Structure 1
Amino acid sequence: MHTTITAATATDMRALGAHLANHMHGGEVILLSGPLGAGKTTFAQGFGAGLGIDEPIVSPTFTIARELDGHFADGTPAHLIHVDAYRLGGTDYAPGQDSVNRLLDELESLGLDEELEEPGTHTVILMEWGEQMAAALADERLEVHIDRPFHATAPDATAADIAVEPTSAGERIVTLTPIGPHWDRFMHDLPDMPATGERQA
């Protein structure tokens, strides 16, 4: 079962991130995916705000992972590990078991493999571009996929034309997919978004 939410604005996207963060307790792995310009960083900013993190949330592309401290809704300490796996696996990255093993080796070298397998009690992992790694390591995870619907801006515009021009403006479609019993319960108990987007189970 998955849930689809329409985020009409960047404010809505941040609100969604904060809404989910407000219901974290520690030990969670969240996989964030979507094309360039989809709004992953915007979501992460809202998520960080929901965890009471004061530091700016930026894409950790060049550092691979950033570790930030805040607090959960009940006031207990929260430790966020924000991972950007885009540059992991080398330039010859391709789907398949060999690439997965290579990616896992790199995660191990960064000390992130054990965190993904078993996050600490106060730790939440938010991973971008890590579909294969998360699937290999995290049996229980919440997959958050963000899509940018294509809107033709000219009579002869095609989806391919628009796809190569990432933009922060415009509506986003966010699909939440729970993997594992914990996340099934989480999504079942999660209150509806206090925003304008529609929610469909």
Structure 2
Amino acid sequence: MSLKLMGAEIDEMRLSVPESPDMQELGGMVADCLRGGDVVLLSGPLGAGKTTFAQGLGKGLEVDGSVVSPTFTIARELHGRLNEGRPVNLIHVDAYRLGGDGYGPGEDSVNRLLDELESLGLDEELEEPGQETVVLMEWGEQMASVLANQRLEVIIDRPLEGGVNPDQPPTSLGKREVTLRGVGSSWKSRMRSLRKAVQA
């Protein structure tokens, strides 16, 4: 494994992730720490490696199907197992299109998001995920921060290196920088466990 710890605080760590297999392995490490009711917020630009991370997380949960970008379905449900062996439903959400054309001045964005989630049957899953559910949400920064006060934020950045043309379509090649941030008391001890797993 080539993951490299770049910096760490009590509730946050930054990693250098050089290859796609390393990103999948990181997803598997996060899966090992998950409990029923968890919300994982996954963000980063196009081509950053969100789907690769999600595939590693799905593999770690031993889900019963392929983890693909849910762009055209908004939400997908897969069945797997937590590290301790209990069954879990992984709800993989792509929130990119939620919110439509954005919000007008003075518009109540929280209520509008809740309305959209309710129409998809996801509002209760995010507000109070059941003990048999893990929610993995892509492109949901605004939404999850409002609805999920206990969450793991996974922020993938793709720094441009010399010789990379920023106008070219993104590829799966190249180093990524990943920030893992535990929000809420339930993530304090698990962030320590994740740091130990990365350093091992």
**Identical-pair percentage:** 60
Partner of 1:125, secondary structure, is strand
How much has 1:90 moved relative to structure 2?
Answer: 0.9
Q: Distance in 2 between matches of 1:64 and 1:50?
A: 22
Structure 2 residue identity aligned to 1:184: K
Offset, 1:30:
0.5
Q: What corresponds to 2:4 in structure 1?
A: none
Please provide the CA RMSD for this pair. 2.0
CA distance in 2, matches of 1:54, 1:76: 14
What residue is the counterpart of 2:70 in the other structure?
Answer: 60
* 2:189 aligned with 1:185: yes
SS in 2 for 1:119: coil
The match for 2:170 among 151, 166, 176 is 166
Q: CA deviation at 1:104?
A: 2.1
For 1:92 and 1:121, the matched residues in 2 are separated by 33
Distance 2:103 2:21 in 1: 34
Helix, strand or coil for the counterpart of 1:162? coil
In 2 relative to 1, CA 17–99 (structure 1 residues): closer, same or farther, beyond 3 Å? Answer: same
- Tell me the residue number matched to 1:112: 122
Tell me the equivalent position of 2:8.
none
- Structure 1: which 5+ runs fail to align? 155-160, 196-201
Q: How many residues align?
A: 189
Give runs of aligned pairs for residues 12-27 of structure 1, distance below 5 A: 12-27=22-37
Partner of 1:176, secondary structure, is strand
1:18-167 equivalences in 2 (<5 Å): 18-92=28-102, 98-153=108-163, 161-162=165-166, 165-167=169-171
Residue 194 of structure 1 and its aligned partner are, at CA, apart by 6.5
Structure 1 outlier segments of 4+, above 4 Å? 93-97
Contact 1:150 1:163 in 2 (8 A): no
Tell me the distance in 1 between the aligned counterparts of 2:24 and 2:148: 25
Query: What TM-score comes out, normalization by structure 2 length?
Result: 0.87
Q: Scaled by the length of structure 1, what TM-score is found?
A: 0.87
Deviates more, 1:180-189 or 1:124-133: 180-189
Label 1:22 to 1:94 Cα distance change in 2 as closer, same or farther (>3 A). Answer: farther
Contact 2:39–2:150 (Cα < 8 Å) also in 1 = yes
